[in-house]
Amino acid sequence: METPIDQQPRPVGKPSMLGIILEPTKQFERIRENPRVALPLILLLVAFGLVGTWTGFLSADSPTTGSEVPVWLTVGMAAIVMALGVGVALLLTSLFHWLLTLLFRGEASYKQIFSLNTHLYILVLLSMIVTYTVASLTDVDPLQPVAPTSLAAVIDAKGFIGGILSGIEVFALWQLVLTAMGLSVIARISRGKAWTAALIIFVAGLLIAGATGAMTEFTQQMQGMNGG
């Protein structure tokens, strides 16, 4: 006996990066049922590679870049490092999110979590586009741009605190909210557990940003002492 047409399961739509912004809940359900990885990842790496090329050209004109470095080398390295950095960040972030959902007895697979983070990374891309657009229109050093949407843009601080403030940014907070929502929907865990998992990774990212800021300040101080 055939199943009536109105009772047959409807095909699950494909999740999209644009949909993550416009209708995130629907996309989370689609990622749970149909986690796409290959095409979104390729598009993301290409996009970040282009952003890396753009920043490479900006960096070539930076006073902190040696004039003896060929422009093509600066641009090529920036594109490669940007794309590889995004790939590694996605792998590690997804791994830790997945392990945390397992700890909270979630039902998600690593592929589902990786697909979630890949789609959410469009917010990171938008943040970088805004940041480097402002850097290209101002006198900001493109090697050390300050996101205009972060607290670092309104609070003058350097070192560890400056790094943390740079991580507290509109798109990053937006990504944090959607990550918590997505983990709850995809892993079928409570909102509290989903927020805990999302916040752990977010805070870890802030600490890394703070450590990077401290190292940058230390390096600049050492260069100043050697120059003096």
Lowest mean pLDDT among 21-25, 169-173, 213-217: 213-217
pLDDT tens, position by position, 6-20: 545 555 688 999 999
The proportion of the chain whose per-residue pLDDT surpasses 70, expressed as a percent, equals 86
- Global confidence as pTM: 0.86
Sign of CA dihedral 77, 83, 84, 88: positive
- How many other β-carbons are positioned within 10 Å of the β-carbon of residue 163? 23
Q: Which of 61-70, 98-107, 184-193 has the lowest mean pLDDT?
A: 61-70
Backbone phi and psi for residue 150, each to the nearest 5 degrees, phi listed first: -105, 165
Assess contact for 117 and 139: CB atoms under 8 A.
no
102-136 pLDDT, tens digit per residue, is 999 999 999 999 999 999 999 999 999 999 888 88
- Eight-class DSSP state of 12: P
User: What pLDDT is attached to residue 83?
Assistant: 92
> Does 21 or 136 have the greater pLDDT score?
21
Amino acid at 18: L
